[in-house]
Amino acid sequence: MNVLGSLWFASDVKDVLDGLLNTAHRHVEKLRLGNPNDPGYQRNQRKWRREVKAALDRARRLAQKRLKGKARAQILSLIEELERQVEV
């Protein structure tokens, strides 16, 4: 899944951001699809929330440092959307 779609900027920054946002997206899905009857459910939920927070914090720092204009705004809005989904 290419989260960034048709945004254009340096390919190494795009690759790193794409990886971080994909990681966060996968972990959000794991949070939503978790089985409450699983004995380690609470522990797993905390773990995935921390993983999402770490990935999104890193993506935010990278976007603020390396991106400008519309690309930065789009990435930051995508990060905020993922944060709202998981309530980080």
Query: What mean pLDDT do residues 41-70 have?
Result: 92
Question: Which class for 53: exposed (0-12), middle (13-18), buried (19 or more C-beta within 10 A)?
Answer: middle
Taking the whole predicted model, whether its pTM rises above 0.85 is answered as: no
Sign of CA dihedral 59, 44, 3, 80: negative
Question: For residue range 22-48, what is the model confidence (pLDDT) as tens digits?
Answer: 999 999 998 888 888 888 888 888 898
Kindly tell me the sign of the dihedral angle through the C-alpha atoms of 69, 74, 77, 83: negative
Question: Is the model more confident about 5 or about 73?
Answer: 73
